[in-house]
Amino acid sequence: MAADAAEDVTPSKHRPSMASGENRVAVIGGGYAGLAAAVELAAKRVPVTIFEAAKQLGGRARRVVHRGMALDNGCHILVGGYHETLKLLERVSPVQAGDSPSLMRLGLELYVPGKFHLRAPRLPAPLHSLAGLLGAKGLPMSEKLLAIRFMRTMKGAGFRLAADEPVASLLARHGQTGAVARFLWAPLCLATLNTPPPSASAQIFLNVLRDSLYRARGASDLLLPRVDLSRLFPDPAAKFLARQGAIVRLGATVDAILVDGDRLLVDSGGVPTRFSRVVCATPPNRAATLLAAMPGLETVATKLNRLQFQPIYSVYLQYPEPVRLPRPMTGMTGGLGQWAFDRGALCGQPGLVGVVISGPGAHESMGRDAIAESIAGELATILPGLPAPRWHWVIAEKRATIASTVGLERPASETAVPGLYLAGDYTDPDYPSTLEAAVRSGVKCARLILERGIGR
């Protein structure tokens, strides 16, 4: 896309001037949060410029290419309760709504071969999840009844706790131990919060259960990408933004945000550009650096620096083309892997399996080859006679998400600097670091800007 030359201001002793676009909004960061803010603003005909330090959009949910194959830098899934994300997909590419060429919609089903199987029937919420629990295979009846009582108790409390506590503590107090913890609650906690139950926030976990299992039956549906993550949203978002006249600057690192009277300056490559509003949608460590240099935002920067992080490893193994998993998304237990995805069934890549390892563990001290070998062995227990993979590739995102711990303090979207907003999955007050949290944060910033007006 063409550079916004009319907007660039070279450093000088004079106040920078804008040739045009007096009320343009800058979005720093082209991940899902930044793109959500930009799309929401552009849809309302607000001029937007995106600064993205990388050479492609998407942040931690984007396409990567290995051996000529389009893969992803993380194995992400969506659920039906991701309302803001689904609305955003519909806006930039209407064919992606619901069950589409880009998303495979499946009912709630958690399947660990030979050990556990929960499948929710098509009943109104929350009957579908309660019936699924009652009919789950691999759980003794006593644990099923305790699990149903636990869910009813949480609903009766409005899914609110008087004081936050670890997920493990909450589960233990309500008798959620044994097989139900091993095959249901612990995997759900890791999959959604990317934080182990002993340290994960029970309140955030209950927020997820509330919105996925109790709001509507379709909210618990699994939506598995049929395309790489760039084709799912960043690519169509870029086309949408181009149609709206937005400017996207790739490979543009922002060095500073400065206050200039009633406007803000975004300094990229030594060239400050004046904007009416700025949405900072960078990772928290980068946001902390930018905000720490701004008067009045030292406390926010300190809060950002205190956030802890959790890793996510994605392991790809290429098997002979006839190899298929029992389900497009198959559970794993007793080893490193938690969920395996059949890329042949999902993305038309026969024999390719993607496995996600969420949170901390022994894999962090292992080499890539050792991790792949271990995962291959775990898959062989699911598919007896499985041959050795032809090749493997391990992607380690060591700071993939913030740790959704007890008493987590998050920065607010609106800062003390007029016109400056903060977006990212780490700002959502209710959700863990998911794509939905990132999108919600970006949309929130855009709506705040629209409510307060672009100009001053």
Q: Into which CATH architecture does domain 5-62+230-307+408-452 fall? A: 3-Layer(bba) Sandwich (3.50)
| CATH 3.90.660.10 residue spans of the chain | 309-402
Secondary structure of the chain in HEC code, one letter for each residue = CCCCHHHECCCCCCCCCCCCCCCCEEEECCCHHHHHHHHHHHCCCCCEEEEECCCCCCCCCCEEEECCEEEECCCCCEECCCHHHHHHHHHHCHHHCCCCCCEEEECCEEEECCCEEEECCCCCCCHHHHHHHHCCECCCHHHHHHHHHHHHHHHHCCCCCCCCCEHHHHHHHCCCCCHHHHHHHHHHHHHHHCCCCCCEEHHHHHHHHHHHHHCCHHHHCEEEECCCHHHHCHHHHHHHHHHCCCEEEECCCEEEEEEECCEEEEEECCEEEEECEEEECCCHHHHHHHHHCCCCCHHHHHHHHCCCEEEEEEEEEECCCCCCCCCCEEECCCCCCCEEEEHHHHHCCCCEEEEEEECCCHHHHCCHHHHHHHHHHHHHHHCCCCCCCCEEEEEEEEEEEECCECCCCCCCCECCCCCEEECCCCCCCCCCCCHHHHHHHHHHHHHHHHHHCCCC
Per the CB < 8 A criterion, the answer to whether 89 and 226 are in contact is no
pLDDT digits (tens, 9 = 90+) for 282-296: 999 999 999 998 999
| Residues 297-321 pLDDT 10s | 999 999 999 999 999 999 999 999 9
Are 226 and 103 contacting, i.e. CB atoms less than 8 angstroms apart? yes
- Please, what CATH class does the domain formed by 309-402 belong to? alpha beta
φ, ψ for residue 228, nearest 5 deg: -65, 160
Confirm whether pTM is higher than 0.75. yes
Q: What is the pLDDT of residues 138-164, one digit of tens each?
A: 999 999 999 999 999 999 999 999 999
pLDDT digits (tens, 9 = 90+) for 96-146: 444 568 999 999 999 999 999 999 999 999 999 999 999 999 999 999 999
- pLDDT for the residue 455: 61
In whole angstroms, what is the distance from residue 174 CA to residue 181 CA?
11
Whether the pLDDT of residue 25 is over 70: the answer is yes
